[in-house]
């Protein structure tokens, strides 16, 4: 019933131009969200550059360098990057007026995000106490843990967006919240590309 009502409202909105108030508030919401992401980027960057500096300085660095499970991390990365693709398809299907396909893709994104977190927990268990202390351990658990927290927040965010869409909060011409949710999820993907590179490839 909810799906049908959302679809009707959405298709009914296809012929309507967004009102001026919506356009103005949309720009403000987008600007505010971009400022939030910039501040988040600064936060991650400060920790990343601190890690790289300490690693290159060599002071207190583990002899022989840390050995992480690259295969496990690679599989986990594929899961997260796949969720970025499914989130893209979710938004595109909303733009094209298909609530059911949007719902399927965003649910798949949520599942893949939860799968990534499960993989991260598995990796923590696999690592055990070997790198739980020292400079590397502090850097690794801080950065990956902070990223995992963002993924968890993203899962909650996407779940709320799905519920709001089902309740008719968005139409197929007014969906700024869905766009911002997609941007956030892609941001999480990009941060993981950097973390995967510095911890597993360098």
The structural domains of the chain, with segments of one domain joined by +, span 2-61+68-201
pLDDT score of 106 more than 90: yes
Separation between Cα atoms, residue 91 and residue 185, nearest integer Å: 12
pLDDT in the model for residue 184: 97
Q: How far apart are CA 21 and CA 37, in angstroms?
A: 24
Nearest CA among 43, 48, 41 for reference residue 195: 48
C-alpha 176/C-alpha 7 separation (Å) is: 17
Degrees to nearest 5, angle at CA 9 with 87 and 14 = 75
CA nearest 183: which of 47, 38, 6? 38
The yes-or-no verdict on residue 2 having pLDDT over 50 is no
Q: How confident is the model at residue 28, as a pLDDT?
A: 86
Which CATH number among 3.40.50.620, 1.20.120.80, 1.10.620.20, 3.40.50.2020 corresponds to the domain 2-61+68-201? Answer: 1.20.120.80
| Residues 1-26, mean pLDDT to the nearest whole number | 52
In this predicted structure, the answer to whether residue 139 has a pLDDT above a threshold of 80 is yes
Q: What would the mean pLDDT of 80-105 be, rounded to a whole number?
A: 96
pLDDT surpasses 50 at 5 = no
Do residues 62 and 131 lie in contact, with contact meaning Cβ atoms separated by under 8 Å?
yes
The residue among 121, 100, 104, 95 whose CA lies nearest residue 179 is: 95
67-71, 125-129, 155-159: which is most confident: 155-159
Helix axes 134-166, 99-127, angle to 10 degrees: 160
The pTM is what?
0.85
């Amino acid at each position: 019933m909810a799906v049908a009502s959302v679809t009707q409202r959405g298709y009914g909105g296809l012929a309507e131009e967004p009102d001026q108030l919506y356009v103005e508030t949309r720009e403000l919401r987008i600007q505010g969200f971009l400022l939030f992401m910039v501040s988040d980027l600064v936060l991650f960057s400060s920790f990343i550059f601190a890690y790289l500096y300490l690693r290159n300085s060599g002071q207190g660095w583990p002899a022989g360098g840390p050995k992480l499970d690259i295969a496990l991390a690679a599989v986990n990365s594929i899961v997260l990057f796949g969720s970025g693709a499914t989130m893209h398809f979710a938004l595109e299907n909303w733009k094209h007026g298909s609530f059911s396909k949007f719902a399927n893709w965003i649910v798949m994104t949520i599942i893949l995000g939860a799968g990534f977190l499960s993989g991260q927990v598995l990796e923590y268990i696999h690592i055990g106490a070997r790198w739980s202390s020292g400079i590397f351990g502090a850097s690794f658990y801080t950065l990956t843990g902070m990223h995992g927290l963002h993924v968890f927040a993203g899962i909650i965010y996407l779940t709320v967006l799905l519920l709001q869409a089902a309740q008719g909060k968005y139409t197929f011409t007014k969906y700024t919240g869905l766009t911002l949710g997609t941007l956030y999820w892609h941001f999480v993907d990009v941060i993981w590309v950097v973390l995967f590179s510095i911890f597993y490839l360098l």
